[in-house]
Structure 1
Amino acid sequence: MKIFKRALSAELMSSASAIFLIILGIVVAQRAGNIVRQVSRGILPNDAIGTILTFSLVQFMPMMMSLAVFLAVLLTLTRWHRDSEMVIWMSAGLSLRQWVLPIMRFLAPIVLIISLFSLIIMPWASGKADSYREQLKKRDELSSISPGTFKESSAGDRIYFIESFDKLGYEVKNVFVQSKQNGKIGIITANRGSRYKASNGDNFLRLEHGRRYETTPNSLEVMTTEFERYDIRVEAKETAPATTTAQIKSTQSLLSDASAADHAELHWRMAIPISTIVMVLLAIPLSFVDPRAGRSLNIMFAILIFIIYNNLLSIFQAWITQGKISVLVGLWPVHLSFILLGWYLYHRRKHLKPLMPGWLKRTPKIAKP
C-alpha cells in the first residue's frame, strides 16, 4: 500500500510540475504577444511590459494551477490504464475508491494555494494592475514614445520622432517634431534634447542646436530658423476618474457589499477551488481507457468537460450579475450537476460499463468471406 501511494504521489508531482510549466509558457507567450502589440501601437510604454505581464500571470495563476492538476491526474491514471499498471494494482485488492484518498492528499495543498490566490492575491493583483494602468494614462505624451517610431499626440496636432533615449528617459537624441499652429505647419529637428519640469509643474522638452521650418499649406514659402535652445511644452493626459469594479475588491469587502455584481464575483472566486476538486474527482473515472476506443478519446472528452464546466460557471456568473439567478442559488447548480456526473461515471466504472457513448466507439469492421 505504501509503495502504491509513493509511486502515485511521485508521478502526480512530476506530471503536475511539467504540465504547469507548459501552460505557463503558453500563457506567457500569449500575454506577452498581446502586450507587445499594445506597445507597438503606442498604447503602452516600453517599460510597462514586465509589470503588466507579471500582474496578468498572477491573475491567471488559479486557473493555470487548476488545469495543471486536473491534467496531471488524468494523464497519470490514463498511462497506468494503458500500460496495465492499474490492472495490477486492482488485482492486488485496490478498489476504485482507494484511489480517491491519496489523490485528495496530493490535491489538498494545491487547493489551499489556489484558494489563497483566488480569494486574496488575485483581487490584489487586479487592483494593482488597474491602478498601474491609470498611472500610465496620466503620463505625458513623451512617456509612450518608442525609440525609432513616429508617435502622434493625443490631440492629433503634433507628431514626435525620437531616435534614442538614455537609460532614465530624460536625455534624447535626433529629435523630429511636426506641429500645426494657426494654420501653419512647423517642423523642428535637433541633435539632442532633454526633459525637465518647470516650477509650476508643466513638463517641457528642451531641444538644443537645431532648426525650425515653418510652411503654409499650398504655398512654396518656407521660413527657416536656427536655434541654440527651443522649449516645447508637453501636454499631460487628462483621464476620467477610476471606477471601482468587483474584480478589484477584496473578498472581505465583497462579503459586506450587497450588489449583485459583488455577489457574482464572490461566487466566482469560491468556484475556482471547488471546481478544481470536482474536476480532479471526475478525472479518476475519465482516465479509464477503452481498448476498443481511440487512445486519446477519453482525454479529449475530459478536456471538453473541463471547458463546458468553466463556461457554464461564467454564464451563471453573468446571470447572477444581471439578476436572473438569485445570489442564494449562485453557481451551485453547475457544481451539483458535475458532481452528479462524477457519481454517474463512478457507478458505470464500478460495474465495468463503458464511460463513452456507444456512437463514439470505433467498431471494427469484419471482413466478409
Structure 2
Amino acid sequence: MKIFKRALSAELMSSASAIFLIILGIVVAQRAGNIVRQVSKGILPNDAIGTILTFSLVQFMPMMLSLAIFLAVLLTLTRWHRDSEMVIWMNAGLSLRQWVAPILRFISPIVLIISLFSLVIMPWANEKADNYRAQLKKRDELSSISPGTFKESSNGDRIYFIESFDKLGYEVKNVFVQSRQHGKTGIITANTGSRFKANNGDNFLRMEHGRRYEITPNTLEVMTTEFERYDIRVEIKEAAPSTSTAQTRSTQSLVSGASPGDHAELHWRLAIPISTIVMVLLAIPLSFVDPRAGRSLNIMFAILIFIIYNNMLSIFQAWITQGKISILIGLWPVHLIFILLGWYLYHRRKHLKPLIPDWFKRRAKRA
C-alpha cells in the first residue's frame, strides 16, 4: 500500500508540475501578446507591461491550478490504464474506492492554495489592477510615448516623436512636436529636452537648441525661428474615478453585500475550489481507457466535461446577477449535476461497463 501511494504521489507531482508550466507559458504568451498590442496602439505605456502581466497571472492563477491538477490526475491514471499498471494494482487487492483517499490527500494543499487565491488574493489583485490602470490614465501625454514612435495627444492637436529617453524618463533626445494653433501648423525640432514641473504643478517639456517652423495652410508662407530654450505645457489626462465592483471587493464585504451581483461573485469564488475537487474525482473514472474506443477518446470526453462545467457555472452566475435564480440556490445545482455524473461514472466503472454507452459510440460513428 505504501509503494502504491508513493508511486502515485510521485507521478502526480511530476505531471502536475509539467502541466502547470505548460499552461503558465500559454497564458503568459497570450496575455503578453494582448498587452503588447495595447502598448503598440498607445493605450498603455511600455513601462506598464510587467505590472499588468503580473496582475493578470494572479487573476488567472486559480483556474490554471485547477486545470493543472485535473489534467495531472486524468493523464496519470490514463497512462496507468493504458500500460496495464492499473490492472496490476487492482489484482493486488486495490478497489476503485481506494484511489480516492490518496488523490484527495495529494490535491488538498493545492485546493487550499486555490481557495486562498480565489477568496483573498484574486480580489486584491483585481482592485490593485483597476487602481493601477486608473493611475495610468491620469499620467501626462509624455508618459505614454514609446521611444522611436509617433504619439498623438489625447485631444488630437499635437503629435510627439522622441527618439530616446534616459533611464529615469526625464531627459529626452531628438524631439519632434507638431501642433495646430489658430489655424496654423507648428513644427518644433530640438536636439535635447527635459521634463520639469512648475511651481503651480503644471508639467512642461523643455526643448533646447532647436527650431520652430510655423506653416500657414494653403500658402507658401513658412516662418522659421531658432531658439535656445522652448517650453511646451503637457496636458494631464482627466480620468474618471475608479468605481468599486464585485470583482474588486473583499470576500468579507461580499458576505454582507445586498446586491445580486455581490452574491453571484461570492458563489463564483466558492465554486472554483469546489469544482476543482469535483473534477478531480470525475477524472478517476474518466481515466479508464477502452482499447476499442481509441486512446484519446476519454481525454477528449473529460476536457469536454470540464468546459461544460465551467460554462454552466458562468451561466448560473449571470442568472444570479440578473435575479433569475435565488441567491440561496446559487451555483449548487451545477455542482450537484456533476456530482451525480461522477456517481454514475463510478457505478459503470465498478461494474466494468464502458463509460460511454455503445449506442452513443454507434451514433458518433454514423455522424
Match of 1:197?
Answer: 197
**1:73-92, aligned counterparts within 5 Å?**
73-92=73-92
Q: Does 1:285 align with 2:285?
A: yes
Q: Does 1:272 align with 2:272?
A: yes
- Give the whole-Å Cα distance in 1 for the aligned partners of 2:356 and 2:83: 20
Match of 2:132?
Answer: 132
Match of 1:2?
Answer: 2
**Contact (CA 8 Å) 1:293, 1:360: kept in 2 or not?**
no
Match of 1:319?
Answer: 319
- Give the whole-Å Cα distance in 1 for the aligned partners of 2:34 and 2:318: 25
**1:338-353, aligned counterparts within 5 Å?**
338-353=338-353
Q: Does 1:250 align with 2:242?
A: no
- Give the whole-Å Cα distance in 2 for the aligned partners of 1:218 and 1:68: 65
1:69-101 residue CA offsets vs partner (Å, 9 max, x unmatched): 000000000000000000000001100000000
**1:162-311, aligned counterparts within 5 Å?**
162-311=162-311
1:337-359 residue CA offsets vs partner (Å, 9 max, x unmatched): 00000000000000111101325
Q: Aligned with 1:74: secondary structure?
A: helix
- Give the whole-Å Cα distance in 2 for the aligned partners of 1:232 and 1:327: 56
Number of aligned positions between the proteins: 364
Q: Aligned with 1:196: secondary structure?
A: strand
1:218-264 residue CA offsets vs partner (Å, 9 max, x unmatched): 01100000000000000000011111100000000001111100000
- Give the whole-Å Cα distance in 2 for the aligned partners of 1:83 and 1:47: 51
Match of 2:115?
Answer: 115
Q: Aligned with 1:292: secondary structure?
A: helix
- Give the whole-Å Cα distance in 1 for the aligned partners of 2:220 and 2:304: 68
- Give the whole-Å Cα distance in 2 for the aligned partners of 1:264 and 1:361: 38
**Contact (CA 8 Å) 1:292, 1:362: kept in 2 or not?**
no
1:35-79 residue CA offsets vs partner (Å, 9 max, x unmatched): 000010111111100000000000000000000000000000000
- Give the whole-Å Cα distance in 1 for the aligned partners of 2:239 and 2:226: 37
What residue ranges of structure 1 are gaps of 5+ in the alignment? none
**Contact (CA 8 Å) 1:294, 1:362: kept in 2 or not?**
no
**Contact (CA 8 Å) 1:294, 1:361: kept in 2 or not?**
no
Match of 1:13?
Answer: 13
1:96-129 residue CA offsets vs partner (Å, 9 max, x unmatched): 0000000000011110000000000000000000
Q: Aligned with 2:291: secondary structure?
A: coil
The residue type paired with residue 129 of structure 1 is A
Deviation of 1:360 (Å): 5.4
| TM value normalised by structure 1 | 0.97
**Contact (CA 8 Å) 1:293, 1:362: kept in 2 or not?**
no
The residue type paired with residue 157 of structure 2 is D
- Give the whole-Å Cα distance in 2 for the aligned partners of 1:196 and 1:183: 28
Structure 1 segments (4+ residues) deviating >2 Å: 357-363
1:273-323 residue CA offsets vs partner (Å, 9 max, x unmatched): 000000000000000000101101100000000000000000100000000
Match of 1:66?
Answer: 66
- Give the whole-Å Cα distance in 2 for the aligned partners of 1:183 and 1:248: 47
